[in-house]
Amino acid sequence: MGKCMIIGCGGVASVAIHKCCQNSEVFEGIMIASRTKSKCDALKEKLQPTTKTVIETAQVNADNVDELIALIESYKPDVVLNLALPYQDLTIMDACLATKTHYVDTANYEPLDTAKFEYKWQWAYREKFEKAGITALLGSGFDPGVTGVFSAYAMKHEFDEINYIDILDCNGGDHGYPFATNFNPEINIREVSAKGSYIEDGKWVETEPMEIKRVYNFKGVGEKDMYLLHHEELESLALNIRGIKRIRFFMTFGQSYLTHLKCLENVGMTSIEPIMYEGKEIVPLQFLKAVLPDPASLGPRTVGKTNIGCIFRGKKDGKDKNYYLYNICDHQECYKEVGSQAISYTTGVPAMIGAMMIMTGTWKKAGVYNIEEFDPDPFMEALNKWGLPWEEDFDPVLVD
Protein backbone atom coordinates (compact mmCIF):
# COMPACT_ATOMS: atom_id res chain seq x y z
CA MET A 1 0.00 0.00 0.00
CA GLY A 2 2.63 2.61 0.91
CA LYS A 3 5.51 4.02 2.92
CA CYS A 4 5.55 5.74 6.29
CA MET A 5 8.34 7.73 7.90
CA ILE A 6 8.35 7.42 11.69
CA ILE A 7 10.17 10.16 13.55
CA GLY A 8 11.46 9.25 17.01
CA CYS A 9 12.53 5.85 18.29
CA GLY A 10 11.50 5.87 21.96
CA GLY A 11 8.87 3.91 23.92
CA VAL A 12 5.83 4.81 21.83
CA ALA A 13 7.63 4.65 18.48
CA SER A 14 8.97 1.19 19.25
CA VAL A 15 5.42 -0.17 19.69
CA ALA A 16 4.12 1.63 16.58
CA ILE A 17 7.05 0.22 14.57
CA HIS A 18 6.34 -3.35 15.80
CA LYS A 19 2.69 -2.87 14.80
CA CYS A 20 3.57 -1.47 11.33
CA CYS A 21 5.73 -4.55 10.83
CA GLN A 22 2.79 -6.81 11.76
CA ASN A 23 0.74 -4.91 9.16
CA SER A 24 3.03 -5.18 6.10
CA GLU A 25 0.13 -5.18 3.67
CA VAL A 26 -0.43 -1.52 4.49
CA PHE A 27 3.08 -0.59 5.62
CA GLU A 28 5.19 -1.89 2.73
CA GLY A 29 8.05 0.31 3.79
CA ILE A 30 8.91 2.30 6.89
CA MET A 31 11.78 4.62 7.63
CA ILE A 32 12.70 5.02 11.30
CA ALA A 33 14.36 8.42 11.65
CA SER A 34 15.48 9.71 15.01
CA ARG A 35 18.12 11.67 16.86
CA THR A 36 20.03 8.54 17.96
CA LYS A 37 20.38 6.33 14.89
CA SER A 38 21.76 3.34 16.83
CA LYS A 39 18.30 2.86 18.43
CA CYS A 40 16.70 2.80 14.97
CA ASP A 41 19.29 0.30 13.71
CA ALA A 42 18.82 -1.97 16.74
CA LEU A 43 15.07 -2.11 16.12
CA LYS A 44 15.59 -2.78 12.42
CA GLU A 45 17.95 -5.63 13.25
CA LYS A 46 15.37 -7.18 15.58
CA LEU A 47 12.34 -6.74 13.33
CA GLN A 48 13.52 -7.05 9.72
CA PRO A 49 13.81 -10.87 9.84
CA THR A 50 10.21 -11.09 11.13
CA THR A 51 8.42 -8.92 8.55
CA LYS A 52 7.86 -8.18 4.87
CA THR A 53 7.87 -4.44 5.65
CA VAL A 54 11.11 -3.02 4.28
CA ILE A 55 12.76 -1.07 7.12
CA GLU A 56 15.17 1.78 6.54
CA THR A 57 16.79 3.98 9.17
CA ALA A 58 18.20 7.50 9.30
CA GLN A 59 19.59 10.06 11.69
CA VAL A 60 17.61 13.28 11.85
CA ASN A 61 17.37 16.35 14.05
CA ALA A 62 13.65 17.02 13.96
CA ASP A 63 14.15 20.56 15.24
CA ASN A 64 15.69 21.38 11.87
CA VAL A 65 13.14 21.88 9.08
CA ASP A 66 15.69 21.74 6.24
CA GLU A 67 17.08 18.41 7.45
CA LEU A 68 13.56 17.02 7.66
CA ILE A 69 12.66 18.26 4.18
CA ALA A 70 15.78 16.67 2.68
CA LEU A 71 15.01 13.34 4.35
CA ILE A 72 11.33 13.35 3.35
CA GLU A 73 12.29 14.24 -0.22
CA SER A 74 14.77 11.40 -0.38
CA TYR A 75 12.43 8.72 1.10
CA LYS A 76 9.13 10.04 -0.29
CA PRO A 77 6.79 8.61 2.37
CA ASP A 78 3.00 8.82 2.01
CA VAL A 79 2.68 9.77 5.69
CA VAL A 80 5.02 11.13 8.37
CA LEU A 81 4.19 9.74 11.83
CA ASN A 82 5.62 12.07 14.47
CA LEU A 83 6.55 10.08 17.60
CA ALA A 84 9.32 12.40 18.77
CA LEU A 85 8.38 14.96 21.43
CA PRO A 86 5.69 17.68 21.36
CA TYR A 87 8.43 20.31 20.87
CA GLN A 88 9.02 18.98 17.34
CA ASP A 89 5.40 19.15 16.13
CA LEU A 90 5.67 22.46 14.29
CA THR A 91 8.99 21.83 12.56
CA ILE A 92 7.70 18.46 11.34
CA MET A 93 4.43 20.05 10.17
CA ASP A 94 6.47 22.68 8.29
CA ALA A 95 8.47 19.96 6.57
CA CYS A 96 5.27 18.08 5.67
CA LEU A 97 3.83 21.26 4.15
CA ALA A 98 6.96 21.91 2.11
CA THR A 99 6.92 18.34 0.74
CA LYS A 100 3.10 17.93 0.57
CA THR A 101 3.16 14.87 2.84
CA HIS A 102 0.40 13.83 5.28
CA TYR A 103 1.17 14.29 8.99
CA VAL A 104 0.08 12.31 12.09
CA ASP A 105 1.05 12.86 15.76
CA THR A 106 0.02 11.82 19.29
CA ALA A 107 0.55 14.97 21.36
CA ASN A 108 -0.03 18.65 20.75
CA TYR A 109 2.69 21.24 20.43
CA GLU A 110 4.20 22.66 23.56
CA PRO A 111 6.96 25.30 23.58
CA LEU A 112 10.07 24.18 25.47
CA ASP A 113 10.06 27.18 27.80
CA THR A 114 6.37 27.26 28.87
CA ALA A 115 4.70 24.13 30.20
CA LYS A 116 1.42 24.98 28.48
CA PHE A 117 0.08 22.72 25.81
CA GLU A 118 -2.81 23.79 23.63
CA TYR A 119 -3.92 23.37 20.05
CA LYS A 120 -3.73 26.99 18.90
CA TRP A 121 -0.30 26.62 17.30
CA GLN A 122 -1.29 23.58 15.25
CA TRP A 123 -4.81 24.78 14.42
CA ALA A 124 -3.13 27.86 12.90
CA TYR A 125 -1.93 25.54 10.09
CA ARG A 126 -5.47 24.64 8.95
CA GLU A 127 -5.60 26.82 5.86
CA LYS A 128 -2.06 25.97 4.78
CA PHE A 129 -2.75 22.21 4.95
CA GLU A 130 -6.06 22.65 3.12
CA LYS A 131 -4.39 24.61 0.34
CA ALA A 132 -1.61 22.02 0.07
CA GLY A 133 -4.24 19.25 -0.20
CA ILE A 134 -2.75 17.26 2.68
CA THR A 135 -4.07 15.99 6.03
CA ALA A 136 -2.71 16.60 9.51
CA LEU A 137 -4.27 14.15 11.98
CA LEU A 138 -3.66 15.46 15.50
CA GLY A 139 -3.58 13.33 18.63
CA SER A 140 -3.66 9.70 17.45
CA GLY A 141 -2.49 8.07 20.70
CA PHE A 142 -4.77 6.83 23.47
CA ASP A 143 -5.51 10.03 25.33
CA PRO A 144 -5.68 12.05 23.18
CA GLY A 145 -6.57 9.61 20.47
CA VAL A 146 -8.77 6.67 21.34
CA THR A 147 -10.66 8.89 23.81
CA GLY A 148 -11.63 11.12 20.85
CA VAL A 149 -12.57 8.12 18.72
CA PHE A 150 -14.69 6.77 21.62
CA SER A 151 -16.41 10.18 21.87
CA ALA A 152 -17.14 10.31 18.13
CA TYR A 153 -18.44 6.73 18.27
CA ALA A 154 -20.72 7.46 21.25
CA MET A 155 -22.00 10.57 19.45
CA LYS A 156 -22.66 8.66 16.24
CA HIS A 157 -24.30 5.54 17.65
CA GLU A 158 -25.52 6.10 21.20
CA PHE A 159 -26.58 9.71 21.74
CA ASP A 160 -28.43 12.65 20.22
CA GLU A 161 -26.41 14.92 22.47
CA ILE A 162 -23.61 14.29 24.97
CA ASN A 163 -23.70 16.63 27.96
CA TYR A 164 -20.97 15.24 30.22
CA ILE A 165 -17.76 13.37 29.51
CA ASP A 166 -15.42 12.04 32.19
CA ILE A 167 -12.22 10.57 30.79
CA LEU A 168 -10.72 8.10 33.27
CA ASP A 169 -7.12 7.01 32.79
CA CYS A 170 -6.17 4.27 35.22
CA ASN A 171 -2.79 2.62 35.35
CA GLY A 172 -2.92 -0.28 37.79
CA GLY A 173 0.61 -1.34 36.84
CA ASP A 174 3.39 -1.83 39.37
CA HIS A 175 7.02 -1.52 38.19
CA GLY A 176 8.52 -2.04 41.63
CA TYR A 177 10.41 1.28 41.72
CA PRO A 178 9.50 3.89 44.38
CA PHE A 179 9.34 6.50 41.59
CA ALA A 180 9.44 6.24 37.82
CA THR A 181 7.35 7.62 34.98
CA ASN A 182 5.67 5.44 32.38
CA PHE A 183 6.48 7.66 29.47
CA ASN A 184 8.96 10.44 28.80
CA PRO A 185 9.64 11.79 32.36
CA GLU A 186 9.98 15.39 31.26
CA ILE A 187 6.63 15.42 29.45
CA ASN A 188 4.95 13.38 32.19
CA ILE A 189 6.11 15.59 35.08
CA ARG A 190 5.31 18.81 33.21
CA GLU A 191 1.79 17.43 32.73
CA VAL A 192 1.09 16.35 36.30
CA SER A 193 2.74 19.25 38.13
CA ALA A 194 0.73 21.81 36.14
CA LYS A 195 -2.56 23.25 37.44
CA GLY A 196 -5.62 21.10 36.82
CA SER A 197 -8.50 22.31 34.69
CA TYR A 198 -11.77 21.24 33.14
CA ILE A 199 -14.37 22.79 30.88
CA GLU A 200 -17.80 23.74 32.19
CA ASP A 201 -20.40 25.69 30.20
CA GLY A 202 -17.84 26.60 27.55
CA LYS A 203 -15.30 27.99 30.05
CA TRP A 204 -12.09 26.60 31.52
CA VAL A 205 -12.21 26.17 35.30
CA GLU A 206 -8.74 26.04 36.87
CA THR A 207 -7.78 24.02 39.97
CA GLU A 208 -4.59 23.68 41.99
CA PRO A 209 -2.47 20.67 40.94
CA MET A 210 -4.10 17.45 42.27
CA GLU A 211 -6.78 19.48 44.09
CA ILE A 212 -9.72 17.32 42.98
CA LYS A 213 -9.54 13.68 43.98
CA ARG A 214 -12.04 10.87 43.43
CA VAL A 215 -11.98 7.13 44.07
CA TYR A 216 -13.15 4.76 41.33
CA ASN A 217 -13.44 1.00 41.08
CA PHE A 218 -11.97 0.05 37.69
CA LYS A 219 -12.84 -3.21 36.00
CA GLY A 220 -9.74 -5.39 35.74
CA VAL A 221 -7.80 -3.22 38.22
CA GLY A 222 -9.88 -2.46 41.35
CA GLU A 223 -10.28 0.65 43.45
CA LYS A 224 -7.86 3.54 42.77
CA ASP A 225 -7.44 7.20 43.72
CA MET A 226 -7.66 9.44 40.69
CA TYR A 227 -6.99 13.15 40.29
CA LEU A 228 -8.33 15.78 37.94
CA LEU A 229 -5.71 16.99 35.44
CA HIS A 230 -5.65 19.39 32.54
CA HIS A 231 -5.52 17.34 29.36
CA GLU A 232 -5.29 18.37 25.77
CA GLU A 233 -8.30 16.56 24.29
CA LEU A 234 -10.68 18.53 26.54
CA GLU A 235 -10.07 21.56 24.33
CA SER A 236 -11.00 19.89 21.03
CA LEU A 237 -13.78 17.61 22.34
CA ALA A 238 -15.59 20.57 23.92
CA LEU A 239 -15.81 22.07 20.42
CA ASN A 240 -16.43 18.94 18.37
CA ILE A 241 -18.97 16.99 20.44
CA ARG A 242 -22.61 18.18 20.35
CA GLY A 243 -24.17 19.38 23.60
CA ILE A 244 -21.15 19.36 25.94
CA LYS A 245 -21.79 21.03 29.30
CA ARG A 246 -18.80 19.66 31.19
CA ILE A 247 -15.75 17.61 30.34
CA ARG A 248 -13.13 16.41 32.82
CA PHE A 249 -10.03 14.21 32.79
CA PHE A 250 -8.90 12.03 35.72
CA MET A 251 -5.70 10.01 36.07
CA THR A 252 -4.81 7.54 38.81
CA PHE A 253 -1.66 8.00 40.88
CA GLY A 254 -0.33 5.93 43.75
CA GLN A 255 0.67 7.54 47.04
CA SER A 256 4.38 6.77 46.54
CA TYR A 257 4.39 8.56 43.17
CA LEU A 258 2.69 11.64 44.64
CA THR A 259 4.94 11.82 47.72
CA HIS A 260 8.08 11.63 45.59
CA LEU A 261 6.73 14.18 43.14
CA LYS A 262 5.88 16.62 45.94
CA CYS A 263 9.33 16.27 47.40
CA LEU A 264 11.03 16.76 44.01
CA GLU A 265 8.86 19.81 43.43
CA ASN A 266 9.63 21.23 46.87
CA VAL A 267 13.37 21.06 46.27
CA GLY A 268 13.08 22.57 42.78
CA MET A 269 13.95 19.47 40.75
CA THR A 270 10.85 19.70 38.52
CA SER A 271 11.52 23.29 37.46
CA ILE A 272 11.95 24.10 33.76
CA GLU A 273 13.81 27.36 34.55
CA PRO A 274 17.50 26.95 33.59
CA ILE A 275 20.04 27.26 36.42
CA MET A 276 23.84 27.51 36.41
CA TYR A 277 25.60 24.37 37.67
CA GLU A 278 29.41 24.28 37.73
CA GLY A 279 29.62 26.86 34.96
CA LYS A 280 27.07 25.13 32.76
CA GLU A 281 23.42 25.98 32.26
CA ILE A 282 21.12 23.06 33.08
CA VAL A 283 17.35 22.63 33.36
CA PRO A 284 16.54 20.82 36.64
CA LEU A 285 13.73 18.75 35.07
CA GLN A 286 15.99 17.60 32.25
CA PHE A 287 18.66 16.62 34.79
CA LEU A 288 16.02 14.71 36.76
CA LYS A 289 15.05 12.87 33.57
CA ALA A 290 18.64 11.74 33.22
CA VAL A 291 18.68 10.06 36.65
CA LEU A 292 15.22 8.45 36.49
CA PRO A 293 14.67 4.98 35.03
CA ASP A 294 14.21 5.04 31.23
CA PRO A 295 10.49 4.28 30.65
CA ALA A 296 11.55 1.77 28.00
CA SER A 297 13.28 -0.26 30.75
CA LEU A 298 10.06 -0.68 32.77
CA GLY A 299 8.57 -3.25 30.38
CA PRO A 300 9.97 -6.44 31.91
CA ARG A 301 9.24 -5.25 35.48
CA THR A 302 5.69 -3.95 35.15
CA VAL A 303 2.77 -6.15 36.14
CA GLY A 304 -0.94 -5.34 36.25
CA LYS A 305 -3.37 -3.69 33.89
CA THR A 306 -4.44 -0.33 32.54
CA ASN A 307 -8.08 0.67 32.09
CA ILE A 308 -8.66 3.84 30.07
CA GLY A 309 -12.00 5.08 28.79
CA CYS A 310 -14.79 7.64 28.79
CA ILE A 311 -18.05 7.85 30.70
CA PHE A 312 -20.68 9.70 28.67
CA ARG A 313 -23.92 11.19 29.97
CA GLY A 314 -26.44 12.67 27.59
CA LYS A 315 -29.74 12.19 25.82
CA LYS A 316 -31.09 9.66 23.36
CA ASP A 317 -34.65 9.96 22.01
CA GLY A 318 -35.47 12.49 24.73
CA LYS A 319 -34.32 10.19 27.58
CA ASP A 320 -31.28 10.46 29.85
CA LYS A 321 -28.61 7.92 29.03
CA ASN A 322 -25.23 6.86 30.49
CA TYR A 323 -22.57 4.94 28.57
CA TYR A 324 -18.99 3.89 29.36
CA LEU A 325 -16.49 2.82 26.71
CA TYR A 326 -13.09 1.57 27.86
CA ASN A 327 -10.13 -0.64 27.08
CA ILE A 328 -8.27 -2.89 29.50
CA CYS A 329 -4.67 -3.67 28.63
CA ASP A 330 -2.26 -6.01 30.43
CA HIS A 331 1.34 -4.81 30.92
CA GLN A 332 2.89 -8.29 30.72
CA GLU A 333 0.90 -9.31 27.65
CA CYS A 334 2.17 -6.18 25.89
CA TYR A 335 5.69 -6.95 26.95
CA LYS A 336 5.45 -10.50 25.58
CA GLU A 337 4.14 -9.22 22.25
CA VAL A 338 6.26 -6.15 21.55
CA GLY A 339 8.77 -5.78 24.42
CA SER A 340 7.06 -2.70 25.97
CA GLN A 341 4.71 -1.96 28.84
CA ALA A 342 1.05 -1.02 28.35
CA ILE A 343 1.46 2.78 28.42
CA SER A 344 3.66 2.73 25.33
CA TYR A 345 1.45 0.00 23.84
CA THR A 346 -1.83 1.86 24.29
CA THR A 347 -0.26 4.88 22.53
CA GLY A 348 1.76 3.09 19.83
CA VAL A 349 -1.12 0.95 18.54
CA PRO A 350 -3.47 3.91 17.82
CA ALA A 351 -0.52 5.80 16.29
CA MET A 352 -0.09 2.97 13.77
CA ILE A 353 -3.87 2.85 13.17
CA GLY A 354 -4.03 6.63 12.59
CA ALA A 355 -1.23 6.42 10.02
CA MET A 356 -3.04 3.47 8.42
CA MET A 357 -6.33 5.44 8.18
CA ILE A 358 -4.54 8.17 6.25
CA MET A 359 -2.36 5.87 4.16
CA THR A 360 -5.27 3.74 2.96
CA GLY A 361 -7.37 6.85 2.23
CA THR A 362 -10.02 5.61 4.70
CA TRP A 363 -9.76 9.06 6.28
CA LYS A 364 -9.33 11.69 3.63
CA LYS A 365 -9.78 15.41 4.21
CA ALA A 366 -7.34 18.18 3.44
CA GLY A 367 -6.64 20.35 6.48
CA VAL A 368 -5.72 19.99 10.16
CA TYR A 369 -8.11 17.80 12.16
CA ASN A 370 -8.48 16.33 15.60
CA ILE A 371 -9.22 12.65 15.62
CA GLU A 372 -12.90 12.94 16.63
CA GLU A 373 -13.60 14.84 13.41
CA PHE A 374 -13.30 11.61 11.37
CA ASP A 375 -15.67 8.62 11.07
CA PRO A 376 -14.86 6.52 14.18
CA ASP A 377 -16.13 3.18 12.86
CA PRO A 378 -13.09 1.96 10.89
CA PHE A 379 -10.79 3.02 13.75
CA MET A 380 -12.96 1.19 16.32
CA GLU A 381 -12.80 -1.94 14.17
CA ALA A 382 -9.03 -1.61 13.87
CA LEU A 383 -8.64 -1.26 17.67
CA ASN A 384 -10.26 -4.68 18.10
CA LYS A 385 -8.07 -6.18 15.42
CA TRP A 386 -4.72 -4.70 16.45
CA GLY A 387 -4.66 -5.38 20.19
CA LEU A 388 -6.82 -2.80 21.98
CA PRO A 389 -10.31 -4.34 22.15
CA TRP A 390 -12.93 -2.10 23.74
CA GLU A 391 -15.74 -2.88 26.15
CA GLU A 392 -19.03 -1.11 26.81
CA ASP A 393 -21.08 -0.62 29.95
CA PHE A 394 -24.61 0.76 29.70
CA ASP A 395 -25.01 1.21 33.45
CA PRO A 396 -21.69 2.55 34.72
CA VAL A 397 -20.96 3.93 38.18
CA LEU A 398 -20.71 7.69 37.65
CA VAL A 399 -18.09 10.09 39.03
CA ASP A 400 -19.60 12.82 41.23
When the beta carbons of 187 and 311 are compared against ligand NDP, the nearer one is 187
Least distance from C-beta 133 to ligand NDP, angstroms? 26
Chain position whose Cβ is nearest to ligand NDP: 10
When the beta carbons of 101 and 159 are compared against ligand NDP, the nearer one is 101
When the beta carbons of 10 and 309 are compared against ligand NDP, the nearer one is 10
Q: How many CB atoms lie within 10 A of CB 233?
A: 28
Contact between residue 5 and residue 13 where contact means Cβ atoms under 8 Å apart: no
Pairing of strands 275-277, 280-282: antiparallel
* Binding to ligand NDP in span 31-70, by CB under 6 A: 34-36, 39, 60-63
Least distance from C-beta 348 to ligand NDP, angstroms? 8
Q: Which of 69, 67, 59, 137 is nearest to 97 (CA)?
A: 69
DSSP for 318-379, written as a single string? TEEEEEEEEEEEEHHHHHHHHSS-HHHHHHHHHHHHHHHHHHTTSS--SEEEEGGGS-SHHH
When the beta carbons of 97 and 342 are compared against ligand NDP, the nearer one is 342
Q: Is 252 in the site for ligand NDP (CB under 6 A)?
A: no
| Helix pair angle (89-99, 65-75), 10° resolution | 50
When the beta carbons of 182 and 197 are compared against ligand NDP, the nearer one is 182
When the beta carbons of 162 and 371 are compared against ligand NDP, the nearer one is 371
Q: Is 9 in the site for ligand NDP (CB under 6 A)?
A: yes
When the beta carbons of 86 and 309 are compared against ligand NDP, the nearer one is 86
Segment interacting with ligand NDP, rule: CB under 6 A, options 180-188, 298-306, 310-318, 328-336: 180-188
Least distance from C-beta 84 to ligand NDP, angstroms? 4
* Binding to ligand NDP in span 327-386, by CB under 6 A: 347
From 53, 135, 184, 193, residue interacting with ligand NDP (rule: CB under 6 A): 184
Contact between residue 40 and residue 8 where contact means Cβ atoms under 8 Å apart: no
Cis peptide before 144 (omega within 30 of 0): yes
Q: Which of 116, 111, 74 is nearest to 95 (CA)?
A: 74
Number of residues that bind ligand NDP (CB under 6 A): 31
When the beta carbons of 237 and 314 are compared against ligand NDP, the nearer one is 237
Q: Which of 306, 303, 310, 326 is nearest to 389 (CA)?
A: 326
Pairing of strands 246-252, 275-277: unpaired
| Helix pair angle (331-338, 342-359), 10° resolution | 60
Q: Is 142 in the site for ligand NDP (CB under 6 A)?
A: yes
Q: Is 95 in the site for ligand NDP (CB under 6 A)?
A: no
Element (H, E) at 311: strand 305-316
Segment interacting with ligand NDP, rule: CB under 6 A, options 10-18, 49-57, 70-78, 126-134: 10-18
52 φ, ψ to 5°?
-85, -20
Least distance from C-beta 148 to ligand NDP, angstroms? 10
Pairing of strands 203-207, 196-200: antiparallel
From 88, 151, 197, 270, residue interacting with ligand NDP (rule: CB under 6 A): 88
Where do contacts with ligand NDP occur on this chain (CB under 6 A)?
Answer: 8-13, 34-36, 39, 60-63, 83-86, 88, 106-107, 141-145, 183-184, 187, 295, 347
